[in-house]
Structure 1
């Protein structure tokens, strides 16, 4: 909890700079996934329909949000996009730290982000793709931070803005249902609905998302996309399980996860773990059944969990959390899944492992790992004293009455 030394900051800066530089060198458009959205905006600017591209899976509001990028040359985007994605990932980590009361300049903060960037493969993968999942990685901890301070409507607006860019955080709306924060839920649903309705009025195909994108998603994408999906509904058929049975298994697992998330919320303890673990369990449940479901979706939940490692009873302090992340170590050649098209099997192991770990954690009466983990010792110093006050104090999360 003491302030990080300049050596630690130098290491972190070097790792992040290497990721950005590598992406700028190996891509010509700032990332394949971001380029899909930018091309859709450019098609709209010349009078075409963004939904002519079956891989454009965003709401109409994302088209207008991508227009500023469409006016910038690709040579500039190849640098700006990885910088923006890396900044969003770092911002999400900072919000997660604030939520858990950890000083952002502490050694834990700096080493934690360094570990995510260097040792968690989806981090570098997301920077390389330039996927708009980065907006959800920033918005979820920011929204939970606002909710923990009692600003539920603002939290709903933040999550709603992220959904308007990419509807990844829609399952988090159940958190507002559990908390009975109806005004916040209205903000979460109203922001993307209003933004998409307004954007649809200027599109040549206003209902394209409903008539093209949703059917594409409901039938399981296409053969190329399916090779990279990590949900059991996509992975189990590749192992010989009939597709209807695989979908049923994924649906039952997701339903069980929602039940566990509700049980975790009803425990009613104060502090940020209640918010974090409920929201993370909801998101993991959605990832089990959603199509598509990629490895970089894990960045929506893993930093939030990792930032709470200093809190007693956190799920991250159990061994199964770390064992679930083992397949995501970069550079480890796993037998039979070395090819990129088979990476989904590793991602599915991590996704299912985290979902089971959180579900079992939420079901326990006190949420503590078996054996009763104790809080980590904090060095005695002025910074350490501030750290103790941050980690031990209630962050203002909603209690049972809220």
Structure 2
């Protein structure tokens, strides 16, 4: 009788897991289909890069468009899309972005030694897709942040297995497409992986230099895009920026003071990340928490800084939920994510142009949570203590 009950229990668990994966597939397919229905080109941000590639193929400079904020190597990477019809792009681009986010989640799970066929794997990705607004925003915009959301956990997974040079190549390739992961070079400095750091730097430099020679304006990124980023003069873009340097002036804080506060916070974040690396001990939580601290510190001061940048770090931290002592086990982690729940309205922040205040709240609270978590870990755990292990079966 007991064996029969055990067989029935096992069958129910397997059936429940299968149902979860079906639900996950429906959620991801619906997210991609929504973008295909609402857009004619697969996404506004990807269309900017494709338009720049089309301009280059026609003999013009891609940097004539002030909203093209990428390195020259991104132009060549997008050139293939120019050959595809719009009807194909509106379907393939959302699927590619969704695929990058799903693969990034899979790499984050393997970094924490969580089985990909587990219920937590399915529930976590479904929760991100259905319960975290930046996920659908990123798929709708088709921003190339999706490449960083895949590259970061993949690079950390390789680094955790001792393949630092390969990790540097992955980060370098992501930077060549979009410089979002450039702050991660500091992690290689912490680890003193000089060859890997050299690869990280050389890949985007060589790719951008070679691509720049093919442009009519080889130095356009430095003469046009970089000053635009430093000034932040675009009034439309500023409404959606989530960094304190952009949000505080909208509340009446002088811009120099807001920029200084953001810079100080970023510097403190780098110092906390270094202490987390040095004193946190080896284990599955060390790499992702250090990397998250570095990236969040950069987002605090970078211009621009959007809500979908959070998808670079949130899945990485969420995947550590099965481990006692992880950031995702704390209440402040979930409080930070509360404004990003779809359908949850906030007084005076309903207009879409005020959502930057909600994004800034999430960014600031999440950054403080990660940084303070590292300090609390130092107080709780000696340097030579073993890393917490997973305490729950998922």
Indicate the TM-score class for this superposition, using the shorter chain for normalisation.
Answer: over 0.9
**Structure 1 residues 367, 34: closer, same or farther in 2, change over 3 A?**
farther
Instruction: Please say if 1:377 is aligned against 2:377.
Output: no
- 1:129 correspondence with 2:148: no
Alignment of 1:293 onto 2:308 = no
Larger relative CO (CA 8 A, sep 6+): 1 or 2? 1
Question: What residue in structure 2 maps to residue 66 of structure 1?
Answer: 78
Within the candidate set 149, 164, 168, 1:156 is matched to 168
- State the superposition RMSD in angstroms: 1.4
Would the aligned equivalents of 1:19 and 1:127 in 2 still touch at CA under 8 Å?
A: yes
* Gap runs ≥5 in structure 2: 1-12, 382-387
- Pair 1:10-2:10 in alignment: no
- Is contact 2:280–2:378 with CA below 8 Å preserved after alignment? no
Partner residue, 1:52: 64
1:118 equivalent in alignment to 2:130: yes
Structure 1 residue 368 displacement after superposition: 6.2
Secondary structure at 1:17 match in 2:
helix
Query: 1:316-331 maps to which residues of 2 (within 5 A)?
Result: 316-331=328-343
Q: 2:247 aligns with which of 232, 235, 249?
A: 235
Identify which of 242, 264, 283 aligns with 1:271.
283
CA distance in 1 between partners of 2:261 and 2:150 (Å)? 31
Trace 1:209-228 onto structure 2 (pairs within 5 A): 209-228=221-240
- TM-score, normalised to structure 2, is 0.93
Contact 1:217 1:291 in 2 (8 A): yes
Residues 87/368 of structure 1: CA separation in 2 closer, same or farther (3 Å cut)? farther
1:314·1:368 contact (CA, 8 Å) conserved in 2?
Answer: no
TM-score by length of 1: 0.91
SS in 2 for 1:66: helix
Q: Which residue of 1 aligns with 2:37?
A: 25
Bigger fraction of residues in helix = 2
Higher mean C-alpha deviation, range 154-163 or range 214-223: 214-223
Contact 2:320 2:328 in 1 (8 A): yes
Distance between the aligned counterparts of 1:310 and 1:107, measured in 2?
12
Go from structure 1 to structure 2 and tell me whether the alpha carbon gap of 1:368 and 1:95 turns closer, same or farther (over 3 Å shift): farther
Pairwise CA distance, 1:377 = 3.3
Alpha-carbon contact 2:280-2:377 (below 8 Å) kept: no
Matches of 1:270 and 1:41, distance apart in 2: 44
Q: Which of 249, 253, 256 pairs up with 2:268?
A: 256
- C-alpha contact (below 8 Å) 2:280/2:374 kept by paired residues: no
Match of 2:385 in 1: none
Q: Counterparts of 1:197-216 in structure 2 under 5 Å?
A: 197-216=209-228
Partners of 2:22 and 2:376 lie apart in 1 by 41
Deviations along 1:243-267, one digit per CA (max 9) or x if unpaired, are: 0000000000100100100000001
Query: Which aligned runs of 4 or more in structure 1 are off by greater than 6 angstroms?
Result: none
Distance 1:65 1:104, change over 3 A: same
Deviation by residue 1:267-320 (Cα, 9 ceiling, x = unmatched): 151212110100000000000000000000000000000001011210110000
